[in-house]
Amino acid sequence: MNDIKRSQTFKHIPLNKQSNDELFTMGQTFNELMDLLKENYEKQEAFVSNASHELRTPLTVIESYASLVKRRGLERPEVVKESIDAIHTEAVRMKDLTEQLLLLARRDQDWKLELSNIQLGQLLENIAKNMERAYNSKVDVDYPHSVTLYTDEQKLKQLIYIFVDNACKYSDVPVLIKLSEGPTIEIIDQGIGIPKDSIDQVFDRFYRVDEARNRDQGGTGLGLALAKELAESLSIKIDLDSEENKGTRVILRLNSLSSH
Ligand code: ADP
């Protein structure tokens, strides 16, 4: 153990023979702890390196357009408009990205929930209206009953936004948000869908099915990772059903939270 401490590595203690005594059990537990620490350390490293990589791309674009304006701006006013548009788009992307990163980082300390009774139908109508405005596309809401739920409104809103945002980004035809007893909320699109072998990975931080097809839509690859954490803190179960070129259906199974 001292050797491991000195070298600051995640090595195992060699355990020669199986036995039932306390020293052997302690050795085994120590080795398992080392594995856990190593795994967390590697995850952390990957996260930092992904995050800096993601931030570098928009910064490079901003830098090159700013240089262009500096060199040519005065003699060629037309490059100014193009450059400002690009700089603005990338700045917005970077802002979204850092906001999501901060939220994910804060998750490790506990998120404080602010609970109240929420009218789900009203909440969904609101979300749909805002998304329609943002994407200039149609978002329908279907809710036969009035359903109330005791939960954190802002966090639930944020969670639903992530799925509706994806549904709008990755499809052209109207998106449907459906509320049923349970309560469950379904977000259904008929867009490009997710290939079978990617479904398990879309909830990973920074995972995108296809860098090329997604880059245009300005995704960060953090949306669903954040959704997973939000759902966990709200005791919501997420089921994701998707078929390539057919569409995606997300089912959120909600639960009332108790204030204790
Ligand atoms: P992004 O910011 O790239 O959208 P997300 O974490 O929200 O990141 O999603 C991860 C990836 O899952 C997306 O890049 C996309 O490839 C895929 N995806 C998510 N939702 C949908 C959807 N409704 N239709 C098709 N693909 C989707």
What distance in angstroms lies between residue 249's CA and the mean position of ligand 1's atoms? 12
Ligand 1 binding residues, C-beta < 6 A: 166-167, 170, 189, 191-194, 202, 207-209, 214, 219-225, 248
> Which ligand 1 atom is the nearest neighbour of the CA of 224?
6
Contact between residue 218 and residue 89 where contact means Cβ atoms under 8 Å apart? yes
The pLDDT of residue 175 is 96
Q: Whose CA is nearest to atom 20 of ligand 1?
A: 166
> What pLDDT shows up at residue 212?
58
Mutate to test the pocket of ligand 1, among 99, 170, 173 (most ligand atoms within 8 A of CB): 170
- Residue 117: both structure tokens together: 């009774």
pLDDT for position 133: 83
By alpha-carbon position, which residue is closest to atom 11 of ligand 1?
A: 208
Q: What is the pLDDT of residue 205?
A: 85
Residues 6+ apart with CB under 8 A from 220: 54, 93, 96, 97, 100, 206
Which of 139, 166, 246, when mutated, tests ligand 1's pocket best, judged by the most ligand atoms within 8 Å of its CB?
Answer: 166
Half-sphere exposure of 202 (CA within 13 A, CB side): 24
Residue 243 CA to residue 192 CA, distance in Å, equals 8
CA distance 51 to 39: 18
Give residue 160 CA to ligand 1 midpoint distance, Å. Answer: 14
All domains in the chain, ordered by first residue: 115-253 (3.30.565.10)
pLDDT means per 10 residues, the chain with 260 residues, are 91 85 92 93 82 83 92 90 90 85 72 90 93 87 90 92 93 93 95 93 88 62 89 95 96 86
Q: What global pTM score does this model have? A: 0.76
Distance in Å, CA 119 to ligand 1 centroid: 28
Q: Are 155 and 113 in contact (CB under 8 A)?
A: yes
CB count within 10 Å of CB 109 equals 7
